[in-house]
């Protein structure tokens, strides 16, 4: 009897030890999601460094970075425009506000709120090969999340289409021209865009100086002077348009490249999925990460897809694996809650900025901005106004034909209309920069308008 009890106790003890061993293995090795409980080893130093730099407040008017300039052993604050000092606390009262660039810093607060989910720690030996295990240069998991994002937003058809990654959308724009262009150098393809249009279309086409394509300017002007019969035409269609935010469609038809950089719910109502042969998107206007330099093309035809893929391969031998990892991490956050947290945040920001800008500009007879018309947004399931990335400002006084110079005299730096092949009576003002930039822009515009009709309350 005594031997039986001892045997039972021993057997139970062995079972208990075995269960604990299995639990431990599952917790730290096989559990996947629980692997974060493993004590930090090699990543601890990097994590501490990142946290310490992120904790530098720069008075809320700048940012310190791990890769920034170091002075006396500490990262230096990089201040927003018009702010200075070691901690960015000093505002220069006579400073000109910069509303020229397209840096989408307005989304920075969202990512600060999601700091832990969006952070990436990369080992020194991460993806040292040119290729992935499947012998490609594009992450299949990242492609899956890109397709998932479009499925959630319903802004583009991806089923049965090919996806190609590029260094921002900029590289893909010329890759698409190359892929669509004539192979007969005696009759090069005519590249067109409807004014006002994004200047990179012309700049890149001219810069690469190919025998197979040439830039011919505004679509409507070209069409009025030429017959499209027996002429090879490639048309850029920017929708929503940069600089004025209008939804556009092809004028000529045929070979088209749809630049959908701004086709996201925070900039425009999503009325339905875009369904075109070549569609190009960029991370910068989706999540705000312009510096990550990542874009993608959605292509219907296999031959065009392979030509674009060859272009990217010859130009860069693929996209940085570190970049693809970061984009994957960001998109995993972006699709959470079916995209609602990200797009609600960014739309509220843009909508508020447009409400405040419209309130000021409505009091002016000297300046006007583009008209906006409500459309039903399938993503938000409501009818709403667009909230474009830029204000397309017009100087209404006949003698003020150079609107950029007029605004610059009032300490506002914009981008002239001629940059977009339009009249210089127009100027583009960016509404997607930091909150500091927007507040100073609104202050300067308010000062302008106050000179027309007496002082008005600062918005």
Cα separations (Å) of 18 from 5, 32, 36, 77?
A: 20, 21, 23, 54
Cα separations (Å) of 419 from 198, 212, 404?
A: 8, 25, 11
Q: Which residues pair with 193 in a beta bridge?
A: 218, 236
Domains of the chain (ranges; CATH) run 47-95 (2.10.25.30), 140-336 (3.40.640.10), 340-451 (3.90.1150.10)
pLDDT for res 41: 83
Q: CB atoms < 10 A from the CB of 4, how many?
A: 8
Task: Give per-residue pLDDT as tens, 263-311.
Answer: 999 999 999 999 999 999 999 999 999 999 999 999 999 999 999 999 9
Residue located via tokens 């300017």: 217
pLDDT for res 37: 62
More confidently predicted of 326 and 41: 326
Task: Give per-residue pLDDT as tens, 447-457.
Answer: 999 988 654 44
Whole-angstrom Cα distance, residue 130 to residue 22? 38
Asked if the bond preceding 240 is cis, omega within 30° of 0, the reply is yes
Whole-angstrom Cα distance, residue 304 to residue 176? 8
Written as six digits, the tokens of 247 are 């939804």
Whole-angstrom Cα distance, residue 419 to residue 243? 10
Residue whose C-alpha is closest to residue 240's, from 261, 220, 256, 219: 261
Residue whose C-alpha is closest to residue 246's, from 218, 269, 226: 269
Whole-angstrom Cα distance, residue 201 to residue 293? 18
pLDDT for res 25: 41
> Is the pLDDT assigned to residue 376 strictly greater than 50?
yes
pLDDT for res 201: 96
Residue located via tokens 């604050």: 77
Within 8 A by CB and 6+ apart from 419, the residues are: 199, 428
More confidently predicted of 393 and 187: 393
> Is the pLDDT assigned to residue 111 strictly greater than 80?
yes
Determine whether 25 is exposed, middle or buried from the number of CB atoms within 10 Å of its CB (0-12, 13-18, 19+). exposed
Residue whose C-alpha is closest to residue 200's, from 244, 236, 248: 236
pLDDT for res 276: 97
Task: Give per-residue pLDDT as tens, 180-202.
Answer: 998 876 789 999 999 999 999 99
Written as six digits, the tokens of 132 are 């992935």
pLDDT for res 452: 84
Query: DSSP characters for 190-246?
Result: EEEEPSS--THHHHHHHHHT-SSEEEEEEHHHHHHH---TT--EEEEEESS-TTT--
> Is the pLDDT assigned to residue 459 strictly greater than 80?
no
- Coil, helix or strand for 368? strand
Kindly indicate the confidence band of residue 9, based on its pLDDT and cuts at 50, 70 and 90. Answer: very low
Residue 458 DSSP symbol: -
Task: Give per-residue pLDDT as tens, 325-366.
Answer: 999 999 999 999 999 999 999 999 999 999 999 999 999 999
């Amino acid at each position: 009897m005594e031997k039986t009890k001892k045997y039972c106790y021993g057997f139970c003890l062995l079972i208990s030890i075995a269960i604990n061993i299995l639990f431990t293995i599952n917790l730290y090795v096989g559990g996947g999601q629980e692997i974060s409980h493993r004590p930090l080893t090699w990543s601890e130093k990097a994590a501490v460094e990142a946290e310490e730099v992120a904790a530098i407040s720069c008075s809320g008017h700048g940012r310190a970075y791990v890769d920034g300039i170091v002075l006396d052993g500490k990262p230096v604050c990089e201040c927003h425009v018009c702010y200075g000092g070691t901690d960015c606390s000093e505002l220069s009262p006579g400073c000109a506000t910069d509303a020229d660039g397209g840096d989408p810093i307005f989304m920075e607060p969202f990512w600060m709120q999601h700091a832990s989910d969006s952070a990436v720690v990369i080992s020194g030996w991460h993806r040292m090969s040119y290729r992935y295990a499947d012998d490609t240069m594009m992450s299949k998991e990242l492609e899956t999340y890109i397709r998932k994002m479009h499925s959630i937003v319903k802004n583009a058809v991806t089923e049965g289409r090919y996806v190609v990654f590029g260094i921002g959308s900029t590289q893909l724009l010329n890759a698409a021209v190359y892929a669509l262009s004539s192979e007969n150098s005696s009759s090069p393809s005519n590249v067109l865009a409807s004014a006002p249009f994004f200047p990179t279309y012309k700049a890149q086409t001219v810069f690469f100086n190919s025998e197979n394509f040439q830039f011919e300017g505004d679509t409507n002007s070209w069409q009025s002077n030429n017959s499209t019969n027996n002429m090879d035409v490639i048309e850029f269609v920017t929708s929503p348009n940069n600089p004025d935010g209008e939804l556009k469609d092809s004028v000529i038809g045929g070979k088209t490249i749809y630049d959908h950089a701004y086709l996201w719910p925070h900039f425009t109502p999503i009325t339905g999925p875009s369904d075109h042969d070549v569609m190009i998107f960029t991370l910068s206007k989706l999540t705000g990460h312009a510096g990550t330099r990542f874009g993608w093309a959605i292509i219907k035809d296999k031959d065009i897809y392979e030509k674009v893929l060859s272009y990217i391969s010859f130009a860069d031998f693929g996209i940085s694996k570190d970049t693809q990892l970061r984009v994957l991490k960001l998109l995993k956050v972006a699709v959470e809650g079916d995209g609602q947290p990200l797009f609600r945040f960014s739309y509220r920001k843009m909508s508020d900025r447009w409400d405040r800008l419209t309130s000021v500009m409505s009091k002016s007879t000297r300046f006007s901005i583009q008209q906006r018309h409500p459309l039903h947004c399938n993503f938000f399931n409501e009818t709403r106004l667009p909230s474009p990335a830029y204000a397309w400002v017009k100087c209404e006084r006949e003698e003020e034909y150079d609107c950029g110079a007029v605004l610059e005299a009032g300490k506002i730096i914009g981008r002239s209309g001629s940059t977009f092949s339009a009249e210089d009576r127009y100027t583009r003002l960016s509404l997607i920069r930091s909150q500091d930039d927007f507040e100073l822009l609104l202050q300067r515009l308010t000062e302008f308008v106050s000179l027309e009709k007496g002082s008005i309350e600062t918005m």
